[in-house]
Amino acid sequence: MPTIGEVLAQLAQQLEQVYEQPEARTMSEWVLEHFLQTNRFGLMQKRAGAASEILLEQVRQAQQRLLRQEPLQYVLGEASFYGREFKVTPAVLIPRPETEELVQWVVKTYERHPEVRLLDIGTGSGCIPITLAAELEQAHVWGLDVSGDALEVAKRNALELGQRVEWLQQDILREVPGLPPHSLDAVISNPPYVLEQEKELMRENVLHHEPHLALFVPNEDPLLFYRRIAEVAQRLLKPGGRLFFEINEQFAQETVAMLQAQGYSEARVRTDLRGKERMVAATWAGN
């Protein structure tokens, strides 16, 4: 039987066929940590131990999928977000670090006013509303998505993480969420914002495996979802309620202009940790 260290080295070597060496090494460590249910320090301690038949088969299957450039998070069935592990499947977008920054902005806004009512539109895995429910323990949180498969993943995550979120399956482009008018403190959304023409710039593991429904918008209407969500939010937000968006960095100022044209005030753009304009918030004063 090979040692765990040998299995790690062999996996990294195989993955170098499609990934750069540092990335292949890191991915290999994550695979072994996942199947051994340990952390990086624990993996180092186990390196000299013999790999079991079960582990060898698990690694073999993971290797096959990773060589097809299937995202690591789908292979392992989970992704980290805001210090928690979320189940993910190809029905949902893999949570991204910049979305953690959007959530942090919302948490900081309401941490002194915890009894808030929040709606996340385009919820996917549920990482946004579940995290908000966990961080703002007295909040009443809803998550909305058009995809029933995505909502099944979100419901499972809420159950496993012990958080209460109410779920709505609706098409935001055609329907208005069935919530009382002017009852929400904030609407949050990370909607589709990648232009169709940007497909050729995307990594294959994203383009060929993550749900296009959650990624792409028409080239001729990049603000399609933002404009509609802003319209719907006017009916749902209390006076003084806020809208929080994750955005395509190319369209920060266009998003601000659209919100101002709809009657929103205090529109602010925020940069992410890499200095890119990736978030916008605005206030609805009410009619």
Q: Annotated binding site for substrate, which residues?
A: 190-193
Q: 25 vs 8, 30, 44, CA distance in Å? A: 8, 9, 14
User: How many C-beta atoms surround the C-beta of residue 239 within 10 A?
Assistant: 10
- Spatial separation of the C-alpha atoms in residues 111 and 15, rounded to whole Å: 43
Binding residues: 122-126, 145, 190-193
Binding residues for S-adenosyl-L-methionine: 122-126, 145, 190
Contacts of 240 (CB under 8 A, 6+ apart): 283, 284, 285, 286
Contacts of 143 (CB under 8 A, 6+ apart): 119, 120, 123, 126, 128, 129, 130, 151, 154, 165, 166, 167, 168
- Spatial separation of the C-alpha atoms in residues 197 and 100, rounded to whole Å: 26
Contacts of 178 (CB under 8 A, 6+ apart): 168, 170
- Spatial separation of the C-alpha atoms in residues 91 and 148, rounded to whole Å: 9
- For residue 67, give the nearest of 31, 130, 17, 125 by alpha carbon: 17
